[in-house]
Structure 1
Amino acid sequence: MTSTSVITQTRELAVFEDEGDNNDFMSLVISLQLEDLEAMEATDKGKARDDSGLGDTVYSIYRAELEAMRRCLEDQKIAQSMDAALDADAGILEEVLREEAIARRDHELAVALSQGREIPQEEPQPQPAAKPPGEGYRPSATSTRTPTPVQQPKTKEVSEHSISPRSQTSSSDGQGTSIASSSRIITAVQNIIKFECVICMTSVGSDQAVKVPCGHHYDFDCLVELFLQATKDESLMPARCCKQPIPLDLARPHLTSQQALEYRAKEIEHDTPNRLYCPRATCSAFLGAAGGAGTVTCYRCAVRVCKECKALEHPLGECRPDFGDETMLELARREGYQRCPVCHRFTELAHGCYHMTCVCRAQFCYLCGARWKTCKCREWDEERLLDRAQAQVRAEFGRPAQAAQVPLFRQRVAQAVDYLRDNHDCSHPRWRYRAGGDNCEECGHYLPQFLLRVFGAPGTVSKTAVTWM
């Protein structure tokens, strides 16, 4: 059989073949044409030499086209396989999405009723794909998939070169519905994959959460609020979770330019160990690091400040002590305050052990002021330990339950005291929601709705934390 007859018969077979995506048949056509090409090349070798080299060029181009068609078919098989898998799961995803929406609606109604708010308007719920009677799920018309725009020209190229003229016309109908269906499924997956915000305990979709270095997730509002609070409360600086700083880049897409600049300025201020501030009480602008000779001009009120003693410029004499500082030191000694050895802030111990952590993150002993673990002072006082245990259990019970369950309250306080004797110097990242109002241990504010509690041991509260809700 000659090469021409092989090609002719192949094309005749293609004419009678179904014009669907019969990739196996098309692969067979290309294989036969490659074999025919090899036969033609072998036949030409026995003929007279063609100095023009035109024959070799034609064969090379033809072989390259056939190989490109073969790769196109292989890619199309993979794409169709993935497409079929998505179609098979589309109904399940849509059904789960609908159930999630209903559950979310129920939660919103419950919260609104418990807080006495107006019931929110119901949003349209996604409907599952229709199923023919007596059959399992089949892709609906809107989810029927066709080759993508990238695949269409390649299919047409195969038809032009290898198949019959009848198969050269290809319809692009359905491409829009294919893309829309894919987008719908991606959205469904994003809504199904939920993460719990570590601050407000709300479940949010994967596209509405930010994962921080420690592995926890924040919703956008809580992450922004954390960074805004850090600019006002230095104890929260740098913004962190589980003692690991949260990079500003994670929150920058959700902050305004002004908010990001303010946070960065406060971060620089926090990282400066020996700070210099304007001594004018009506200004108090941060002026950078103190120490060294010379003066610096306040950028806000234009006064000149001595970098050595942190007072107003005094060109006629040496630095003199501030009598206001001496008065404050005397008050601190009388009241039992301690001073941070790093930033020199005064601190007061309300309850707990003598291990102090300053807002500048320095750790020191409250009794002697030395850096923590460098002295031989005792680590706690029994009365303060009892106060700490009572505060913990009170936060766990809530005030109404404490009055109603006095024996159980006392028992839990005794358990908390025993636990704190062994674990007074530890911290735990496990948080639990507790409904009802109480005072926050950190800021003292009364929170009327709920508290988040950190557990040191099963049933024992080691810290009460405030949220901004």
Structure 2
Amino acid sequence: MECVDSCLQFDDESFALKLQLEEIEAQRELQSGKWTEKNPPDFALAFDAFQAELEKALYLVEDLKFAHSIAKAVDSDAVAIRESMVEETQSVQDRDFALSLNEDENLPSTNDTTTMDVSRFEAESVDWDHILRATEASTFSNESCSTVAGPSTHYTLRQKAVLEHLPQLKVECCVCRESVHPHFTVRLMCSDIYCKPCLKFHFLRAAKDESIFPPKCHRQPIDISNIEADFSTEELTVYRAAELEFTSMDRVYCAEPECAKFVPMPQRTPDYASCEACGAETCMHCKALAHDGGCVADVTRQILLDFADEQGWKPCVGCGELVFRYEGCDHMT
């Protein structure tokens, strides 16, 4: 394998590992809930373990990339290194020869030294080739493999399977059955996976149909915080209004036929309900449009009027409130 190809392969592997680390961080942000430091949930432990494994693999890839670079540099410069060694050996021999002339000693055998040094260098070159082949064999091969990744499979084989399927790293929405990137999905407490458009549509449909409110999956209510960020201001207002209406124990609707909007509690008094949508007022007793005087549907008031009649109390001609004479004349002003 050429060094350029190996470096490119290492770059791809490093990029794939970094993408998986980013995916782990994205999944962490999607999780909600609190827990003690010494008692994290299972998914947090799984994230930590997988993150540690990915980081170790990333360090291994970077080290192998660096080793390949050094090995290839030595291999490509072998000729220049050999020439430099020959020149250096020749210089040493010339120096020894000059010293031997001064001391009238026999020349040392230069052929053996040269042969030994060059042979040793050639052996070292062969060792570099072996290192290249060994590191290539230890990395994630691009060749096809039938190994199925699993908990007991060696990490390199599991990582290879991930890399082979990286372009198809998508999950399926349980509603539309479309394969989408995990960033655009929401995993619910029941483990079902929704794409965000489908989950948002589920909430908006529930806001119009009380029979499916609140939105549920496997009979478990879905928290709107999972998808709230994808709502527009208008859509969120519609949903919150429906939520207020469907959870109210005492519902009052505008008596204006063309409006008929729900009137929430803050817009009501004991006798009237004011509609913000059209401005009409509704009688809280008979649920018709507001009218002057007491309402015959007001049971409490009717009981009071019957009691007042027995006691001889009379309504005030000005304000209509009941009055009785405590002392003085019968004249009222």
TM-score scaled by length of structure 2: 0.39
State which structure, 1 or 2, has the greater radius of gyration over its C-alpha atoms: 2
TM-score scaled by length of structure 1: 0.29
* Larger fraction in strand: 1
* Larger fraction in helix: 2
Higher relative contact order (CA 8 A, sep 6+): 2
